[in-house]
Amino acid sequence: MPEGLAELHVHIEGTLEPELIFILAERNGIALPYRDLDDLRSRYAFDDLQSFLDLYYANMAVLRTAEDFADLARAYFARAARAGVTRAEFFFDPQAHTARGVAVHEVVAGLSDAVAGARREFGIDAAMIASIVRDRPVPEAHEVFGELLRLGAPIIGLGLDSAEVGYPPSLFEDVFARARAEGLHVTAHAGEEGPPEYVWQALDLLGAERIDHGIRSLEDPALVARLVDERIPLTVCPFSNVRLRAVDSLAEHPLRRMLAEGLAVSVHSDDPAYFGGYVDDNLVGLTDALGLTEAEREVLRRNSWDAAFL
């Protein structure tokens, strides 16, 4: 097994730190609706997934050019290297950018530039996963996926994210079939706020090789048995679950129960700029709150490598 950690559940747009928001706004001549950094930071208190997504998408207004995306990803890699990350499979949301007039090629050019430099500059083997924004129209998902293929975007997989409840995986069966036919890996957010049924659909209809979050799978014993039997990885993000109120507190996080059930769980950061920390912070937080042992942390690390698309 390689050294370090494999970070498998991080949205690159969710690594956009407040300081960089102000720097990019200045560079691009964008007037922010915040007085200053403190005013922006005061808005990082969320009631649920949607209240977070509203701010997450609004802040992306500062990302305009390939250079902006490259700077965003480079800043993330610098921080991830300090967290001990040596493999980073990160999501990006093409539709969040095309919907506001930024071309896919700007996004892909900037991110792939940073990916190319990640090994040399930070010792990180990085890879991109395009994610379908599930609360946008289904035909748009097909258009954007087609555009990624036309550009020859160096993606390793297709994901599914954004507002979960009311947007079941079944809507996206066809676009994921296309992705699989292209030889891409498939992963999907499911069972974060949505029901266990969405996890079943991600597996059976999308062909998901891993499930992002999946914490609500615990409500369905037959689903747990399936996930254990097939060793389907679940990429769990504890700080995110607490900040988006899927879980009441870190001390009540079901991670230990998931490990005890034999689920292939690993720990990740989701949107670290918004949820109070990167993958190392999540592991320290869990260690303090749940009393995770060194041996349990090693299991989580090993699971992260088993789940990587390598």
User: Which residues are designated catalytic?
Assistant: 192
- 176-215 binders of ligand ADE (CB under 6 A): 189, 192
The whole-angstrom separation of Cα 72 and Cα 68 is 6
Instruction: Determine which residue in the list 125, 164, 270, 280 makes contact with Zn ion, applying CB under 5 A.
Output: 270
CB hemisphere CA count around 208 (13 angstroms): 31
14 binds, among ligand ADE, Zn ion, none (CB under 5 to 8 A by kind): ligand ADE
Instruction: Spell out the residues 6+ positions from residue 18 whose beta carbon is closer than 8 angstroms to its own.
Output: 37, 40, 41, 273
Site string for ligand ADE, 9-48 (x = CB under 6 A): --x--x----------------------------------
Q: Is 6 left (phi over 0), alpha (psi -120 to 50) or beta?
A: beta
Contact partner at residue 236 from Zn ion, ligand ADE, none, CB < 5 to 8 Å by partner kind: none
- Nearest to Zn ion of 66, 88 (CB atom): 88
Give the HSE-up count for residue 32: Cα atoms under 13 Å, Cβ half-sphere: 22
Site map 222..261 versus Zn ion, x via CB under 5 A: ----------------------------------------
- Print the binding letters for residues 234-273 with ligand ADE: x by CB under 6 A, - otherwise: ------x-----------------------------xx--
Long-range CB contacts for residues 97-106, cutoff 8 Å, separation at least 24: 97/60, 97/63, 98/140, 98/144, 98/147, 99/136, 99/140, 100/60, 100/61, 102/63, 102/64, 104/144, 104/147, 104/148, 104/151, 104/153, 105/66, 105/151, 106/64, 106/65, 106/66, 106/69
Q: Give whichever of 13 and 270 is closer to Zn ion, judged by the CB atom.
A: 270
Residue 87's binding partner among Zn ion, ligand ADE, none (Cβ under 5 to 8 angstroms by kind) is: none
Binders in 106-135 for ligand ADE, by CB under 6 A: none
Nearest distance from C-beta of residue 201 to Zn ion, angstroms: 17
Q: Distance between alpha carbon 299 and the CA centroid of its chain, in Å?
A: 21
Supply the DSSP symbol for 270: B
Query: Could you tell me where the beta strands, DSSP code E, fall in the chain?
Result: 5-11, 85-92, 125-133, 155-161, 185-190, 210-213, 233-236, 264-267
**Is the CB of residue 97 less than 8 Å from the CB of residue 107?**
yes
Binding residues for ligand ADE, how many (CB under 6 A)? 11
71 is an interface residue for ligand ADE by CB under 6 A: no
Q: What, of ligand ADE, Zn ion, none, does residue 192 touch, CB below 5 to 8 Å by kind?
A: ligand ADE
Cα dihedral 178→70→124→9 (10° resolution)? -50
CB-count burial class (<10 Å; 0-12, 13-18, 19+) for 120 = exposed
Measured from the CB atom, the residue of 48 and 248 that comes closer to ligand ADE is 48
Residue 68 interaction partner, one of ligand ADE, Zn ion, none, beta carbon < 5-8 Å per kind: none
Residue 106 binds which entry of ligand ADE, Zn ion, none, CB below 5-8 Å type-dependent: none
Does 49 contact ligand ADE by CB under 6 A? Answer: yes
Closer to Zn ion by CB, 77 or 91: give it: 91
* Stretch of 41-49, 79-87, 135-143, 268-276 contacting Zn ion, by CB under 5 A: 268-276
Provide the binding-site residues for ligand ADE, judged by CB under 6 A. Answer: 11, 14, 49, 56, 161-162, 189, 192, 240, 270-271
Provide the binding-site residues for Zn ion, judged by CB under 5 A. Answer: 270
